[in-house]
Structure 1
Amino acid sequence: MPLDPLLPVQLVERRGDWGHIRCANGWAAWVDGRLLVAVPDDPPAGGDPGGTADPRPLLARVEQALAGYRAAVEGLAAGATDGEAFEARTRGLRIGLVVDGASTWVYDPQEGRWLYGDGRRLSPYATDRPVDGADDTGRAPARLVAPEGER
Structure 2
Amino acid sequence: MTTEGFRPTHVVPQHGMPAWEEPDPARATVPLDPLLPVRLVERRGEWAQVLCSNGWSAWVDGRHLVAVPQDPPATGGPQDRTADPRPLLARAEQTLARYRAAVEERARGGLDGESFHGRTRGLRIGVVVDGENMWLYDGEQGRWVYGDGTRLSTCATDDEPRAATAQPGHAPTQVVTPDGP
Structure 2 regions of 5+ residues with no counterpart? 1-6, 12-39, 48-60, 164-174, 176-181
Counting matched residue pairs gives: 115
CA 88–43 in structure 1, closer or farther in 2 if over 3 Å, else same: same
In 2, the alpha carbon distance for the partners of 1:117 and 1:132 equals 25
**Distance (whole Å) between structure 1 residues aligned to residue 100 and residue 93 of structure 2:** 10
| Equivalent residue number for residue 11 of structure 1 | none
Give the aligned partner of residue 101 of structure 2. Answer: 71
User: Larger relative contact order (C-alpha < 8 A, sep ≥ 6)?
Assistant: 1
Among residues 4, 9, 14, which one is paired with 1:6 in the alignment? 9
Q: How does 1:69-148 map to 2 (within 5 A)?
A: 69-132=99-162
The 8 Å contact of residues 65 and 95 in structure 1, kept in 2 or not, is answered as: yes
Q: Percent identity?
A: 56
Question: Which digits, 9 at most, give the CA deviation of each residue in 1:17-74, with x for residues without a partner?
Answer: xxxxxx89764216385x44477995214x5233551000110111111100000000
Cα RMSD of the aligned pairs, angstroms, is 3.2
Alignment partner of 1:60 is 2:90: yes
The structure 1 segments of at least 4 consecutive aligned residues displaced by more than 6 Å after TM superposition are 23-26, 38-41
Q: Which of the residues 60, 68, 76 maps onto 1:48? A: 76
Moved more, 105-114 or 35-44: 35-44
Contact 1:37 / 1:127 at 8 angstroms: preserved in 2?
no
Q: Distance in 1 between matches of 2:92 and 2:128?
A: 11
If the length of structure 2 is used for normalisation, what is the TM-score? Answer: 0.53
In 1, the alpha carbon distance for the partners of 2:107 and 2:8 equals 28
Would you tell me which structure has more helix in proportion to its own residues?
A: 1
Secondary structure at 1:61 match in 2 = helix
Q: Computing the radius of gyration over CA atoms, which structure comes out larger, 1 or 2? A: 2
Q: TM-score scaled by structure 1?
A: 0.62
